[in-house]
């Protein structure tokens, strides 16, 4: 991937199979993003207007970014990822310029996906938290209005879709949720038991596991773990095995046990409910 400050351009290699659980979310993304890009002519034939934007929300570490990458890969679309926090921290005018430049690049590279991570940083409710008046737009307000202009301008361009992710959906400005902007809002939940087992499978598929490793049991014992933490657990189990014996050939159940004792989940019961 090519990375300039605030913007990453890449052709993603992540596939749907790299993501455990989330069957419904995957299906909705396939229909909303993959189909219109891959079967554009069928949409034209039937006179269907593809959606322009999808907002993903849910707790951190539960695969929002990974879902976007898998979507881009499946649709064979170029992926332009913008960090909301980075845009927000730029000098006056710099963030807006980067936004405009990114949409321009995305049009040229179509089919493409423009992804806003930490979207709440650029799309916070106007006249909101910091109490600025509308006559003196804040950094966030300027970025938001540039983003709205760019999204509205996509009408004529085909094959450019906007995806955004946030942990704070309530902070998103309502203007972005109007029809023709983020038409689809998807909740990406923390993993349930089945999803945790699948995530553990994904992250151990290249590891040499001893027969005593029971992923089902580990999934049961990791109730409040996020996908990111389950990935960390698998990595840590491997490290524990090596620390015990640098010439180890397999990772055993006890290594997972030691690893999980050193990790604490970040989610709370409330976030799961």
Residue closer to ligand ATP by CB (options 5, 178) is 5
Task: List the beta strands (DSSP E) in the chain.
Answer: 2-4, 7-10, 53-57, 78-83, 112-117, 160-166, 182-187
* CA atoms of 31 and 42, how far apart (whole Å): 13
Spatial CA neighbour of 222 closest among 198, 241, 242: 198
Provide the mask over 132-171, with x wherever binding to ligand ATP is found by CB under 6 A and - wherever it is not.
---------------------------------x-x----
Kindly state the smallest distance separating residue 25's Cβ from ligand ATP, in Å. Answer: 9
Least distance from ligand ATP to the Cβ atom of residue 41, Å: 32
The interface with ligand ATP within residues 12-41 (CB under 6 A) comprises: 19-22
The structure tokens 């349930």 sit at 192
Per-residue binding string, ligand ATP, 194-233, x by CB under 6 A, is -----x--x------------------------xx--x--
Report the site for ligand ATP in 69-128 (rule: CB under 6 A): none
CA gap 88, 121 in Å, rounded: 6
The C-alpha atoms of residue 98 and residue 84 are separated, in whole angstroms, by 11
Closest to ligand ATP by CB, 248 vs 263, is: 263
What is the total count of residues that contact ligand ATP (CB under 6 A)? 19
Report the 3 state secondary structure along 184-214. EEEECCCCCHHHHHHHHHHHHCCCCECCCCC
Tokens standing for 122?
């650029």
> Which of the stretches 64-72, 84-92, 124-132, 233-241 binds ligand ATP when contact is defined by CB under 6 A?
64-72
Q: Which residue is nearest to ligand ATP (CB)?
A: 227
User: Which residues bind to ligand ATP, rule: CB under 6 A?
Assistant: 19-22, 60-66, 165, 167, 191, 199, 202, 227-228, 231
């Amino acid at each position: 991937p090519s990375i300039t400050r605030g913007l990453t351009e890449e052709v993603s290699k992540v596939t749907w199979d790299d993501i455990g659980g989330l069957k419904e979310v995957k299906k909705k993304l396939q229909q909303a993003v993959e189909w219109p890009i891959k079967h554009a002519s069928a949409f034209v034939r039937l006179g269907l207007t593809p959606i322009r934007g999808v907002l993903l929300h849910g707790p951190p570490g539960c695969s929002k970014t990974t879902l976007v990458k898998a979507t881009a890969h499946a649709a064979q679309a170029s992926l332009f990822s913008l960090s909301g926090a980075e845009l927000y921290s730029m000098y006056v005018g710099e963030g807006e310029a980067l936004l405009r430049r990114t949409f321009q690049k995305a049009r040229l590279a179509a089919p493409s996906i423009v992804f806003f991570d930490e979207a709440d940083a650029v799309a916070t409710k106007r006249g909101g938290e910091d109490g600025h008046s509308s006559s003196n737009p804040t950094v966030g307000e300027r970025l938001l209005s540039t983003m709205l202009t760019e999204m509205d301008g996509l009408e004529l361009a085909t094959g450019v879709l906007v995806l955004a992710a946030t942990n704070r959906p309530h902070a998103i400005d309502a203007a972005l949720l109007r029809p023709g902007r983020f038409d689809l809002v998807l909740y990406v939940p923390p993993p349930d038991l089945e999803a945790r087992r699948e995530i553990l499978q994904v992250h151990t598929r290249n590891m040499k596991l001893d027969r005593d490793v029971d992923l089902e049991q580990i999934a049961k014992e990791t109730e409040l773990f996020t996908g990111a933490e389950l990935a960390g657990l698998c990595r840590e189990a491997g490290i524990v095995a090596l620390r015990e014996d640098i010439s180890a050939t397999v990772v055993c159940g006890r290594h997972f046990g030691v690893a999980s004792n050193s990790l604490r989940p970040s989610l709370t019961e409330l976030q799961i409910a």
